[in-house]
């Protein structure tokens, strides 16, 4: 799943460790989400969305949605 997490975090000048602390997650989890190696659980995705004041769909883009949009 693609996401905008790195961009959103950088806009606020937060490190991965800063974001991890705000979310109660590990820095490694944040890195894995940003690089697309790990899809967050639904509760964590909602927590991320609330922190940034956005809808989940504004942060996370499923690969199927990307493929359909390209058609």
Domain topology for 2-70: 434 Repressor (Amino-terminal Domain) (1.10.260)
Backbone phi and psi for residue 56, each to the nearest 5 degrees, phi listed first = -50, -40
Instruction: Name the strand (E) or helix (H) holding 58.
Output: helix 56-59
Average pLDDT value for residue range 54-63: 93
pLDDT at 59: 97
DSSP state of 15: -
pLDDT at 62: 84
**Domain ranges across the chain:** 2-70
> Is pLDDT at 15 greater than 50 in this prediction?
yes
> Is pLDDT at 47 greater than 80 in this prediction?
yes
Predicted TM-score of the model (pTM): 0.85
Contact assessment for residue 52 and residue 14, using Cβ atoms and an 8 Å cutoff = no
């Amino acid at each position: 799943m693609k996401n905008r997490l790195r961009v959103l975090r950088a806009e606020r000048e937060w490190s991965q460790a800063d974001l991890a602390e705000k979310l109660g997650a590990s820095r490694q989890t944040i890195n894995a989400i940003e690089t697309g190696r790990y899809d967050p659980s639904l509760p964590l995705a909602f927590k991320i969305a609330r922190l940034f004041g956005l809808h989940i769909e504004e942060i996370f883009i499923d690969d199927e949605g990307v493929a359909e949009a390209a058609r």
